[in-house]
């Protein structure tokens, strides 16, 4: 629809021309080409990281009920999705495991197994497609019987003892071929310890994307379904994940992570924390990522399925919000859908 200025029919009424003068904002919105020409932010395939869930077995594509369209994949199937990601031009995938409950224990020892699902997936993806980035999660919660990210003594999450184990986990993943270590545990000092461990182990080029500002959020429920920790988690994670009320604390967390050697920083969840993304980007000018977490994804996907919102428009609008807030990239389960739309 076009617009046109008309003189006022009421001689006593101030005309629009008198109010705005020559500054008419709608001129730059008058057509698609004009809007594209002055657009301040853009979304491209290069902005996307696709999280994938891996499960034991063969020829398995197991739907995650609380995440419409998302599946747990066996190693042969994760090969196919990694190849699809490469074909779509998605720069990287992030791998998360559904660990057999029989392999979970109080110390998360399966995290240190050089042949665990994540390590198998790294090798398979690298073999299938050599030119896609692989990001892996460093934390113990997919492997512990209690569902926490760290080692426990009674009800206490042990910080330093956990960090020691996370360093070993990171080295196991680096040996398997990961490109980016993503420590999501929120233990104090883990970035510096992991960086030192990687460097001393001969993995100087393995990057670290720190989960810098990871909040104790209600939006993680579907993810915990996907990795099987909803059934195991004892209590909550508020003694190590951040209070949703805090913003200055995120600055302090980022300052520490950057000083300890993080190559990239992340805010999780994404949409409820756009202000944190903006603050961190402005303060540190570091490569800054947002994780559009499972709850955010599920709300859009479910509402779209029910016809309550326009699924594709809401999907793209939500991702553009991250770019507008200052994010350099987004981990999102929408990645293949968005990539297909952007390439169309």
**12-33 burial by CB neighbour count: b if 16+ within 10 A, else e?**
eeeeeeeeeeeeeeeeeeeeee
Catalytic residue among 237, 268, 281, 323: 268
**The dihedral sign for the CA sequence 15, 18, 20, 22:** positive
DSSP, res 132: S
**The dihedral sign for the CA sequence 136, 274, 300, 46:** negative
Active site residue 341: no
Catalytic residue among 214, 237, 281, 323: 214
C-alpha angle 148/206/55, rounded to 5°? 45
> Of all helices (H) and strands (E), which one includes residue 36?
helix 32-37
Active site residue 281: no
Q: How far apart are the two ends of the chain, measured CA to CA in Å?
A: 25
Partner residues linked to 97 by β-bridges: 54
Report, as residue numbers or ranges, the catalytic residues.
214, 268
């Amino acid at each position: 629809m076009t617009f046109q200025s008309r003189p006022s029919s009421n001689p006593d009424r101030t005309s629009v021309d008198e109010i705005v003068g020559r500054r008419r904002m709608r001129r730059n919105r008058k057509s698609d080409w004009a809007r594209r020409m002055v657009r301040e932010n853009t979304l491209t395939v290069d902005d996307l990281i696709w999280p994938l869930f891996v499960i034991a077995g063969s020829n398995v594509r197991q739907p995650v009920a609380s995440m419409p369209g998302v599946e747990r994949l066996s190693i042969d199937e994760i090969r196919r999705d990694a190849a699809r990601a490469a074909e779509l031009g998605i720069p990287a995938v992030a791998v998360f495991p559904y660990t057999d409950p029989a392999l979970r224990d109080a110390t998360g020892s399966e995290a240190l197994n050089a042949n665990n699902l994540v390590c198998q997936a790294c090798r398979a993806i690298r073999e299938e497609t050599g030119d896609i980035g692989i990001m892996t999660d460093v934390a113990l919660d997919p492997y512990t019987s209690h569902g926490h990210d760290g080692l426990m003594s009674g009800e206490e999450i042990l910080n330093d003892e956990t960090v020691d184990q996370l360093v070993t986990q990171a080295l196991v993943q680096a040996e398997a071929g990961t490109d980016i270590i993503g420590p999501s545990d929120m233990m104090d000092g883990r970035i510096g310890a992991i960086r030192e461990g990687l460097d001393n182990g001969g993995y100087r080029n393995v990057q670290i994307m720190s989960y810098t500002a990871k909040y104790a959020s209600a939006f993680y429920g579907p993810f915990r379904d996907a990795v099987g920790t909803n059934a195991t988690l004892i209590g909550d994670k508020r003694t190590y994940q951040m209070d949703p009320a805090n913003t200055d604390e995120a600055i302090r967390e980022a300052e520490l992570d950057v000083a300890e050697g993080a190559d990239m920083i992340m805010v999780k969840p994404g949409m409820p924390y756009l202000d944190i993304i903006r603050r961190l980007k402005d303060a540190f000018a570091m490569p800054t990522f947002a994780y559009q977490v499972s709850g955010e994804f599920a709300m859009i996907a479910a509402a779209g399925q029910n016809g309550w919102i326009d699924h594709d428009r809401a999907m793209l609008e939500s991702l553009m919000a991250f770019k507008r807030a200052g994010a350099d990239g987004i981990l999102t389960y929408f990645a293949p859908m968005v990539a297909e739309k952007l390439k169309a």
